[in-house]
A = this chain, B = another copy of it.
Amino acid sequence: MTFDPLIDDLVSANHILCNEGIVDGFGHVSVRHPERPGRFLLSRSLAPAVVGHEDIMEFELDGEPVDARGRRAYLERYIHSEIYRARPDVHAIVHSHSAAIIPYAVTGAALRPIYHMSGFLGAGVPVFEIRDAAGADTDMLIRTPALGKALAGSLGSAAYALMRGHGSVAVGASIKQVVYRAIYAEVNASLQSQASRLGEITFLNEAEAKNAAATNDQVLERPWALWKARVAARNR
């Protein structure tokens, strides 16, 4: 492969997402192939914190590995394959079960942008209910292309979707943007839960959310530098 810097970033994203509390032993992050948009890159089935360069596998949009070489794939790779198929604008995806967003995934309370850092939530956050797609006897996982397609349908054109009884998916135009979104969606959820106990919340309106998101997309390198430094310090 000739796109090592992208893989470096994907490996860093794995480590950052664990270090910042978005993933633990579970969850994953992928990036669309930079040269072949019909493929994407995703680690083999590992805890993100321990993913290395050699663990990154290449997949087709049917979710099957191009060259598995004995490496076991994540059961839920169809989250990635079907969203890449449905959303040409998406070039990176994070799936996680981070703590503060789960309450919004199971109660029907709406996750909304409480401050400028999470303007990307402004267009609304859909909730995927697997029972609507596959009935009430699943194991909750997106383990087939059909379930991936149903999830992509719930996501629609949004930047972030919740999955009832499970977690969330963040999408973005780049690894740095999707990591930003996964982290600040989690922060927003925590802040919103705290604020909702104090009184009525004035959320960003649609224009404020859209404008703030556009502004923050210009400075994605700034938090990325911090997150990488923290991973490096942890690994020292």
Contacts and interface: CB of A to CB of B under 8 A. Distances in A.
Q: Is the interface of A mostly helix, strand, loop or mixed?
A: helix
A235 interface: yes
A103 B145 CA distance: 41
Interface residues on A, range: 35 or more
A141 to B, nearest CB: 6
A220 to B, nearest CB: 9
Contact of A46 (B99, B104, B196, B222): B222
Contacts of A212: 139-141
Contacts of A224: 25
A194 B195 contact: no
Residue among A18, A197, A214 facing the most chain B CB atoms (10 A cut-off): A197
Given A24-B226, A136-B207, A227-B25, A219 B106 contact: no
B103 A187 contact: no
Interface in A161-203: 164-167, 187, 190-191, 193-203
Contacts of A229: 47, 49-50
How many copies of this chain does one complex carry?
4
B222 A45 contact: yes
Interface string A199-236: 11111110110011011000100111111011001110
A36 to B, nearest CB: 29
Given A49-B229, A165-B116, A202-B106, A215 B100 contact: no
Contact of A45 (B103, B190, B193, B219): B219
Interface in A66-101: 75, 97, 99-100
A108 interface: yes
A227 B26 CA distance: 12
Given A164-B202, A165-B204, 8 more contacts: A24-B226, A26-B223, A49-B230, A50-B229, A103-B197, A106-B195, A108-B202, A116-B140
Interface of A: 18, 24-26, 45-47, 49-50, 75, 97, 99-100, 102-109, 114-117, 119, 136-141, 164-167, 187, 190-191, 193-205, 207-208, 211-212, 214-215, 219, 222-227, 229-230, 233-235
